[in-house]
Structure 1
Amino acid sequence: MTLVQTLPGDIELRISQTSVPYREALAEMTERNTAIAAGEARELIWFLEHPPVYTAGTSADRHELLDPRFDVVEAGRGGRYTYHGPGQRVVYVLLDLKKRARDARGFVHALEGWVIDTLADFGVEGFRSEGRIGIWTRDVDGREAKIGAIGVRIRKWVTMHGFSVNIHPDLTHFTGIVPCGIEEFGVTSLARLGKDADYASWDRALLARADHFLATLETRCPRETAS
């Protein structure tokens, strides 16, 4: 079952209620990206969950695939290996930056800010870390740990892929890879941090900040070259 709504700006909001296989989602996302670029489809923000899968970005190093116990898929996005699975909220963001500021870095920065601000609603301090991709926080032992992953691709100034946040996944599933190529830090989740959250509460909080996220994309400095 899938819920479909419309966000301001005639952006389609899709919330999948059942798990969507990664390969299926990737094919649909790629097709939609092309259609948006051609002016044949609406922009899309898609909330979903995947069955357990390891995805490889364009910088993935095979030595960081430690135990391929799940399907491994070439994702075509930036970054290295990432895990997706039950208990993790994935959000794909397909927006036409030709309608906004043509700023790839600004887009990623805005995505990060959207997640960080939403984590604050649950009493979790999220932050960026120089030289480390993703969204970070303090784990139960006080050490820095990743709670959210970011990975995007931009084709003809239309974005695809997006971010994932660990709500209540099985964290042992991350041990089959070196997440995003970073060995010295672990991963955590809202559940591990003692936060009572589920997809419904996370989605509501995220959507409450969607207007601010979209407005941020209007204020970045345009770039001169296309991606």
Structure 2
Amino acid sequence: MDDLLTDSVEWRAEKARVPYREALEQMEARNRAIAEGEAPELVWMLEHPPVYTAGTSADGAELLDPRFEVVEAGRGGRYTYHGPGQRIGYIMLDLKERGRDVRCFVHSVEGWVIATLGDLGVECWRSEGRIGIWTRDVDGREAKIGAIGVRVRRWVTMHGFSVNLDPDLSHFTGIVPCGIDEFGVTSMARLGHATTPEAFDEALRQRAGDFLAALSGKECALP
């Protein structure tokens, strides 16, 4: 489904799973079109079939059991897993029009996801020195519920975030997620807050205005 999030930002929400390589090709093409002024900015919500993706800092020693296809993603970060039950948000925005501040962009994406999960009953936070979105797992320990990984080319952003709604958490054991092995991975369903992709997308959309406003620079209060 394609419609407008704002006058300049398109919102697309997929119901069918999109293979990772296909999504990567589409994202790169849209990045070029936005940079050349030939297409509007885009927030693209979707899920992938099971895949491990390698960021630019990926360490081969952290690929423990490559039971699924491994794809070089071109984004920052290390190895991540994507698969059914995990909602992905790919964000293609023109930072030339939004402050040219990559750090503010990443901080704002984190804040958008944290606020959305809070609206759905899951308290989350950033954790200094650890990439991702963190929460308290059923055993009381911190665990990752979402990942952030971005790339900026010609000042247009690519990639974005993933949130675990109800994936098969055993699939994460094939890698060291984002290079962090001392903490586990959790999901909304595991925490007793099961939700549908449609409900998550709608909650995220309700917070989109705050996210885009933060990119003005005036509201990007970095810690």
Instruction: Report the residue type matching 1:11 in the other structure.
Output: V
The one of 38, 41, 46 aligned to 2:39? 41
Structure 1 contact 102–221 (Cα < 8 Å) conserved? no
Q: Measure, in 2, the Cα distance between the counterparts of 1:204 and 1:170.
A: 23
Q: Who is 1:105 aligned against? A: 103
Equivalent position amino acid for 1:52 in 2:
P
Secondary structure of the 1:44 match is strand
In structure 2, what is the Cα distance between the partners aligned to 1:104 and 1:220?
14
Q: Aligned residues, how many? A: 220
1:219, CA displacement in angstroms? 2.1
Cα distance between partner residues in 2 of 1:129 and 1:106: 16
Structure 1 pair 221–213 and aligned structure 2 pair: CA distance change class (3 A) = closer
Question: 2:210 is aligned with what amino acid?
Answer: H
Match of 1:90 in 2: 88
**CA RMSD in angstroms, aligned pairs only:** 1.2
Q: Corresponding residue for 2:170?
A: 172
Alignment-derived partner of residue 19 in structure 1:
17
- Residue type of the partner of 2:82? H
- Deviations 1:151-187 (Å, cap 9, x if unpaired)? 0000111000000000000000000000000000000
Cα pair 2:213 2:219 within 8 Å, conserved: no
> Where does structure 1 lack aligned partners over 5 or more consecutive residues?
223-227
Distance 1:6 1:192 in 2: 33
Residue in structure 2 matched with residue 225 of structure 1 by the alignment: none
Deviations 1:96-131 (A, max 9, x none): 011111100000000000000011112211100011
Aligned to 1:210: 208
Amino acid at match of 2:116: T
Q: Distance in 1 between matches of 2:104 and 2:8?
A: 22
For structure 2, list consecutive stretches of 5 or more residues without a partner in the other structure: none
Task: Name the counterpart of 1:115.
Answer: 113
SS of match in other structure, 1:124: coil
How far, CA to CA, are the matches of 2:188 and 2:194 in structure 1?
A: 7
Give a deviation string over 1:52-90, Cα, whole Å, max 9, x none: 000000000000000000000000000000000000000
Q: TM-score, normalised by structure 1?
A: 0.95
- Alpha-carbon separation, structure 2, partners of 1:9 and 1:80: 35
Change (3 A) 1:221 1:210: closer
Greater displacement, 125-134 / 6-15: 6-15
Give me the TM-score of the superposition, normalised by structure 2.
0.97
C-alpha deviation, 1:196, in angstroms: 2.5
The amino acid of 1:62's aligned partner reads: G
Looking at structure 2, the residues matched to 163 and 9 of structure 1 have their Cα atoms a distance apart, in angstroms, of 23
Contact 1:151 1:162 in 2 (8 A): yes
Q: Which moved more, 1:159-168 or 1:212-221?
A: 212-221
Aligned residue identity for 1:99: E
> How much has 1:40 moved relative to structure 2?
1.1
